């Protein structure tokens, strides 16, 4: 792992503090009991790999460090249901408290209203976060290359898979993408947002997509606000887009999701 950017380092430290608190509330033994009561996980990878259209992973989050407050009345169950009814293929739940106003329990709330596959999106650095994701109803976890040493990244990918979770491994450049692929993950995400500057560059997908094998699902993250950007991502070969801010602000969620799920020319 390269030197961590100050913004990312702060978010990771917040995640570490939150996780230590969660360990006292829900120790691993309790999480394992919850997992024993859970249904089998849903196939996140299959849900976001479509033959003739771009899949949409609809993200819910209360706020972001760059955009500020997005939802004064934040009700994860209601939002998840609206995403399901609008035609989303999967849901991403932000559970990071410090930067995004999320809580791990939001996963459980969202799970009660829909059977869509769910991704726990957080700065995952500890086994507890992965096990907790499974216990609270997630089907996949986000792992960020820039936030983890390579050995640690591989360990968490293996743990996720052993629990039946898909691992979406996120990269931002060629070096990080190579590291992601070396883990053997079948889903990679390219974050167009530079976590050092928070600037967005959609050309990253056009540059990095050819480096990803065709059997690995490619998710384009950040900077997709409408059909123009969605079409650009599909034309570049993305299988799915992860969209949050524009959906959280949308007046008509169903219409917005329909616009994002662009179809291939026949």
Q: Cα 17 to the chain's mean position, in Å?
A: 21
| The Cα angle at residue 246 between residues 58 and 50, in degrees rounded to 5 | 35
Active site residue 2: no
Contact call for residues 168 and 71 (beta carbons, < 8 A): no
**CB proximity list for 162: less than 8 A, separation 6 or greater:** none
In sequence order, what are the beta bridge partners of 69? 63
At residue 62, what are phi and psi to the nearest 5 degrees?
-75, -40
Active site residue 203: no
Active site residue 206: no
Which among 55, 176, 191, 245 is annotated as catalytic?
191
Which among 18, 109, 132, 170 is annotated as catalytic?
170
Active site residue 191: yes
Which among 49, 55, 61, 109 is annotated as catalytic?
61
Contact call for residues 74 and 82 (beta carbons, < 8 A): no
Residue 77 gets which letter from DSSP?
H
Active site residue 222: yes
Active site residue 245: no
Residue 215 gets which letter from DSSP?
T
Which among 59, 109, 132, 245 is annotated as catalytic?
59
Active site residue 170: yes
Which among 49, 109, 121, 132 is annotated as catalytic?
121
Q: How far apart are CA 154 and CA 143, in angstroms?
A: 10
Q: Which residue from 83, 42, 85, 87 is spatially nearest to 60, judged by alpha carbons?
A: 83
Catalytic residues: 59, 61, 121, 170, 191, 221-222
């Amino acid at each position: 792992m390269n030197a961590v950017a100050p913004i990312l380092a702060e978010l990771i430290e917040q995640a570490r503090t939150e996780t230590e608190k969660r360990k006292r509330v829900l120790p691993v033994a309790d999480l394992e009991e919850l997992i024993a009561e859970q249904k089998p996980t849903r196939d996140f990878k299959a849900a976001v790999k479509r033959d003739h259209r771009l899949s949409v992973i609809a993200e819910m989050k209360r706020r972001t460090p760059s955009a500020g407050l997005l939802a004064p009345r934040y009700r994860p169950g209601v939002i998840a249901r609206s995403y399901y009814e609008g035609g989303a293929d999967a849901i991403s739940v932000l559970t990071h408290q410090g930067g995004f106003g999320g809580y791990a329990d939001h996963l459980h709330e969202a799970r009660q209203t829909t059977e869509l596959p769910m991704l726990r999106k957080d700065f995952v650095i500890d086994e507890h976060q992965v096990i907790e994701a499974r216990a609270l109803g997630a089907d996949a976890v986000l792992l960020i290359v820039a936030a983890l040493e390579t050995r640690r990244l591989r360990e968490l990918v293996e743990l996720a898979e052993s629990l039946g979770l898909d691992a979406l491994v996120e990269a931002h450049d060629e070096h990080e993408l190579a590291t992601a692929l070396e883990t053997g993950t079948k889903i990679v995400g390219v974050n167009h947002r530079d976590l050092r500057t928070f600037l967005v560059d959609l050309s990253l997908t056009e540059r990095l997509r050819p480096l990803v094998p065709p059997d690995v699902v490619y998710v384009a993250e950040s900077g997709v606000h409408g059909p123009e950007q969605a079409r650009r991502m599909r034309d570049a070969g993305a299988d799915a887009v992860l969209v949050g801010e524009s959906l959280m602000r949308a007046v008509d969620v169903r219409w917005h999701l329909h616009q994002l799920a662009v179809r291939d020319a026949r």
